Amino acid sequence: MSRIIGIDYGLKRIGIAVTDPLKMFAQPYDTIFAPDFPDWLAYYTKEEQVDCFVVGMPLRLTGDDTHATQHVIDFIEWLHQHYPSIPVETIDERFSSKEAQTQIHLMGKKKEKRKEKGLIDTVAATIILQTYLQKIS
């Protein structure tokens, strides 16, 4: 069975979420340091069949690009070059990090844990992926 990978891209860390094999639910997976991501993805795609990458697209409330938008566009181009047979979809991620912090708080995590950037990135990737799944269902 194949999976869909949700990605919250950052220059330092990349939050990862994956679907269950039936592609019904998004699940937090991990946070990968950006320099390690190419090796991690090569390994993951050898172990699991991937149907699609879903990448969060950073936009301002007005819909304009942010300082991070071009970095994400470059990352998507990298995905197209290295994994041409796997489609890439984008999802508006304007509120994903804030929503991730809220979800972490609702899980009862202590203040120090709620500020942990890696956890926020992974939960944000899960929100991005779940948003995509809702969109296609």
pLDDT of residue 72: 96
pLDDT of residue 104: 57
pLDDT of residue 96: 58
Q: Which two tokens stand for residue 72?
A: 């994400």
Q: Give the separation between CA 132 and CA 136, rounded to whole angstroms.
A: 6
Structural domain total, the chain:
1
Q: Give the separation between CA 9 and CA 20, rounded to whole angstroms.
A: 21
Segments forming the whole domain that contains residue 131: 2-136
Question: Per mean pLDDT, which range of 16-30, 52-66, 72-86 is the poorest?
Answer: 52-66
| DSSP H or E segment with residue 97 | helix 96-106
Report strand pairing: 88-92 vs 49-57: parallel
CATH code for the domain in which residue 79 is found = 3.30.420.140
Beta bridge partners of residue 59, listed in sequence order: 65
pLDDT in tens, 14-37: 999 999 999 999 999 999 999 999
Buried b (16+ CB within 10 A) or exposed e, 107-120: eeeeeeebeeeebb
pLDDT in tens, 82-128: 999 999 999 987 665 666 565 655 566 555 544 567 788 898 999 99
pLDDT of residue 40: 98
Query: How large is the greatest C-alpha to C-alpha distance in the chain, in angstroms?
Result: 42
Q: What is the DSSP letter of 35?
A: G
pTM score of the predicted model: 0.85
